Amino acid sequence: MRTAISIREGALSSVTLLRRLGHDSRKNRLYRAFRELGRAVRTLVLLRYLSEPELRESITAMTNKVEAFHGFAAWLMFGGDILGHNDPDHHEKIVKFNELIANCVIYQTALDITGVVNQLVAEGQVVDPDDLATISPYIRENIRRFGEWVLDTTPPEPTIITQLDIVLDS
């Protein structure tokens, strides 16, 4: 209680509190108190999870959304397993850039879905909100990860070489 009051009154800074909690000492009373408080909170959450089916469904739904995002972001990333680097800052940049790209693609997909739905409504179609709830922004079929490549297989026309085309080195 003294720690909570000190934090509320501004007498204890976050740096000092984190420094005290950072020491995994059996003699540190503050560390032991927060560890026991954390255990009690975790026990209460587990008991609620076991006794409330709605909470389980909600947690499962959120976990599935997060896992779907991570799967989509992993699908977008290429070369990650090939390009090795031991710098943690470099790893963090790769993860951040990959998540940024994933968020941009998801945003564009959501805009595309919204445009199609608005067009259907403008044409007089009835759009059921329950049907919209099943559409995921993690659609992969419309994405060309490596760009668009055009291969022209027509042979080139033969060219006639004349004497003027030949340059002699003398």
Q: Does the predicted TM-score (pTM) go above 0.75?
A: no
pLDDT at 23: 66
pLDDT at 5: 81
Q: Where are the domains of the chain?
A: 1-51
Question: Average pLDDT per run of 10 along the chain, which is 170 residues long?
Answer: 78 76 71 87 95 94 92 82 70 86 91 91 89 86 78 74 50
In a 13 Å sphere around the CA of 64, the CA atoms on its Cβ side amount to 7
Tell me the one-letter amino acid at 165.
Answer: D
